[in-house]
Amino acid sequence: MTGKMEYLTFFNGHKMPILGLGTAHALGDDIEKAIDAALEIGYRHIDTAQRYNNEAQIGRALKKWLDSGKIKREDLFIVTKLPLTGNRAECVEKHLKQSLHDLQLDYVDLYLIHHPVGFQDLDPKDNGEEMLLDMNTDHVSLWKAMEDQVDAGRARSIGLSNFNARQVKRVWRSARIKPANLQVELHVYFQQSELRAFCRALDITICGYIPLGAPGVRPPGRAAITVDASKMPKRDQMTNPVVSQIAQKHGKTNAQVLLRYIIQLGVAAIPKSTNPDRLRQNFDVFDFELSAEDMDTLEQLDKGPAGRQVRAFIPEMANHPEYPFNAHY
Ligand code: A2P
């Protein structure tokens, strides 16, 4: 690989590698091996969540690397997220401590509220895997508990995920420690231009999830949280002829062009892969640059809100007062 990693700088001076590894739906041995391969390739930014059920495996792989001395903790940028069942102030410390225990770390670089919608904290064993909404989710008190995690040294920075502009603004206004980052769905078919401009004005960086438009099939997880891939819009970014033409011109793959586009928008990207060849390919995006004309051409592929793929992963979520995706942005 040639070319150098680029970084986003948070308002507090912390730097996030602009390309990271997404780990949603990557479980067990697969993810442990993928982390190993990714660190070997040079990935240093790893994105996980308590909801992904893979923090313990990621923690094992990280510990091996940290113990061997091949990598230092300060070289890593580890992101995890408060589960939707923990969206109450009194739950935050418990969940972050659990994540740190599983990841075998003293702190995370970034802790995000995974979603503005909250669920009751019911044990799925007692509840037939049904998830019940908590209609009293209050982002302002929740954020205060997030700030306490920075004070306690458990998180270097804190942020939000899946929040819309109104929800971000409310937290931002009330915050003693501002959100450093917003993680949202973002790819060439759903470019989030208004949300990007809005966050730029508040000095909040953005990280895009499913940056390749999730071309793979998701393995089944817990029944209640499985995304039904057949109900998603057609996912053809990886074979889109406009993308292919630009890729050919640069001697790159479609995936590399899609990732480079996001990076040149000034947004971090966290493509998920457990395949070493694709991990390498996705990381090899720092030795070429898209021209202004390429950028304009790719901008035309935006479908706006119609390009959104991830909505309510449980239909009832849409009934929650903080369901974020009815707003235009
Ligand atoms: P795999 O893990 O087998 O590589 P997204 O991050 O947009 O959700 O995309 C992730 C999906 O895309 C996964 O199914 C992953 O499968 C696949 N994928 C990741 N990188 C590439 C690539 N460079 N080319 C083709 N498919 C990819």
What structural domains does the chain harbor? 7-319 (3.20.20.100)
Residue 228: pLDDT band by 50, 70, 90 thresholds? Answer: low
Element (H, E) at 263: helix 254-264
What are the structure tokens assigned to 41, written together?
Answer: 């390739």
Q: Does residue 61's CB lie within 6 angstroms of at least one atom of ligand 1? A: no
User: Six-digit token pair at 18?
Assistant: 């602009």
**Least confident range of 33-47, 48-62, 128-142, 195-209:** 128-142
Indicate if the pLDDT at residue 225 is higher than 50: no
202 band by pLDDT with thresholds 50, 70 and 90: very high
Task: For ligand 1, say whether the CB of 9 is within 6 Å of any of its atoms.
Answer: no
Instruction: Provide the greatest CA pair distance for the chain.
Output: 57
pLDDT at 123: 65
- Is residue 220 predicted with pLDDT exceeding 50? no
Ligand 1 atom closest to 24 (CA): 8
Catalytic residue among 7, 43, 52, 261: 52
Instruction: Give the mean model confidence (pLDDT) for residues 66-72.
Output: 97
Residue burial 282-318, b: 16+ Cβ < 10 Å; e: rest:
bbbbbeeebeeebeebbeebeeeeebbbebebbeebe
Mean pLDDT of 14-28: 94
What pLDDT is attached to residue 131?
80
Distance 56 CA to ligand 1 centre (A): 22
**Which atom of ligand 1 is the closest one to the Cα of 22?**
6
Distance 279 CA to ligand 1 centre (A): 9
Task: Summarize pLDDT for 157-175 with one digit per residue, the tens.
Answer: 999 999 999 999 999 999 9
Higher local confidence (pLDDT), 224 or 123: 123
Give the number of C-alpha atoms closer than 13 A to the C-alpha of residue 216, restricted to the C-beta side.
Answer: 15
Answer yes or no: 7 catalytic.
no
C-alpha 161/C-alpha 82 separation (Å) is 10
Looking at the predicted structure, is the pLDDT value of residue 235 above 70? no
Residue 217 has pLDDT above 80, yes or no: no
- Looking at per-residue confidence, does 111 or 215 come out higher? 111
Residue 175 CA to ligand 1 centre (angstroms): 36
What pLDDT does residue 222 have? 40
The pLDDT mean for the chain works out to 92
